[in-house]
Structure 1
């Protein structure tokens, strides 16, 4: 079995898809080595194992809203598209969405996957509780306020298989999406916060070539459908009509050009009812301190002539700081520099270390589930609480049932 893009082949001997939480408990208890698998949107071997893989995507979501607590409970294998559709129908919303609404909740929060917005935490920050199947198959809840909670959310599948999740919700809201084109690099680099702070969620798309960036997608939280927005952003005009694509292909982008819609349909980049993105790609991504954004982007631009021929698109997004131990945005306001490369493995293998060297002075944190060549000891060094996380894993899973080759290298690395 391969990942979503077809670029990684899993080594696990079997993949098991239980239909209930009880079956999930039995599967976990009966295997010596097992790892959780979501919707296979990782691009490396993070989720892999020499034992068995188990996925909760076949378990009924079992949506349950607790309005008094402001949370929704659901199965961890549920895709965000299903969560968003259910919540919008009930008059509720999540604070953020990833670009792809088709990823599973459990997989996204376990890796610190994110949406966008200067003031928006990643998807993991919405978690208020986790129901986890432990090594012996027993269920336990870890909730916000518990001592282990900050180390249990972004946990890379090392503390057990998450069965159910509680997420914070808020009343539904409208989002208007506009696209600005032709922004110059020097305008962005002169005042990055002015661009990334122009809306509730902002994405900058570029192929790194030339003096202009490409497209800036600004998603604004609006009170009414006819609310007015600026016709210019940092010298770039607002595209007045038509839909602009991130990557050439089917028309699967969410609505643009100032048409306000529900958060569920407007915060993702790709529509819930269509096949997202191109699929035939390799992704890599690095999180840096937002204060270093201009300098870091300038450093990567020095490699533009080598990057562009092998690139489908780069997306720049910001993420608010949080206190989750292994979150890529832990303790710092962050910018994510994301590369969607063509499916050209040799070129990516050659380019990735050069990009990492250019970002080296800015303490980059690679996305846990994407391709990178940063040594484990350097990855571990970027997380002040990794030692505490290692101790938590040893306490919860002393026999290392949930440890695979990738995570073993992280747990064994010295910062």
Structure 2
């Protein structure tokens, strides 16, 4: 087992506070949607617990879904309360964040939440054809043009807006074109995340590598042209750069579901209630239940990753625990899942390394990534 692994309390909390959603995305891991929404009382109990955890880092709280903006009043009221809680207790909270499909993100709603200090990431997978294949609105109404109209009314770069693009083996051939399309909107940062729970064959991986080569060339050219208005950050590239300077590995995430139960990985959220109950983190005995998660999922996942990849976990841009946990929980082959993860992870690692090697002395790149 890697000697780099240490225990630290989580510093990032994702609030899956409602199962309500106006979309019916094909790859959503929360399962069947319903009208379940967390009570304010339970939310504040969890928030207060999270903020009380000792940390030498700034903390982040992210509103997830369902779709958070379906419960706009809940978000506004709770965000104001969270701000008040941190002020009263002199606890440091760096970020309040919100993930949205963008359909309900009118300028009015955007301004209301921005004024509280909430930042946003929009889930848009690229061009209309790609987006429509997976991100479908329940009512059957045409959604894409409305989302684009909403985005056009917001100064994305000025407000620090991000975009999250999800792709899989079926549309990886369009990845470069979709990122090129998304980059024209002026997002400050762009995530492009593979569906790791799907198995990628050799052909899929070759297509991913080919698209990475095109994205790399395009991204490097933006910095060499030197126009800051065209630059966007790739958050996992930032993580890769930061990893060059760290000596330890730990999990910093905590997830809360619509009942107020806490879990360390998203993979647990789609389980049936009775099964999920076994793996929730007990606030009253946090350290004990957290250690249980580490023993069953976290440590075995890291050990298997390092055994199969012949790499230290510190070299990995992504965390293998989600993939391993998903395989265990859904009776799939954990070795196959981690091997699949490694194949994709290595392509990302090479992609990031190539960009870094070409741009590490570029002034704009160093400024953008705080090097």
In terms of fraction of residues, the more strand-rich structure is 1
Q: What TM-score range do you get, normalising by the shorter chain?
A: under 0.3
TM-score, normalisation: structure 2: 0.28
TM-score, normalisation: structure 1: 0.25
In terms of fraction of residues, the more helix-rich structure is 2
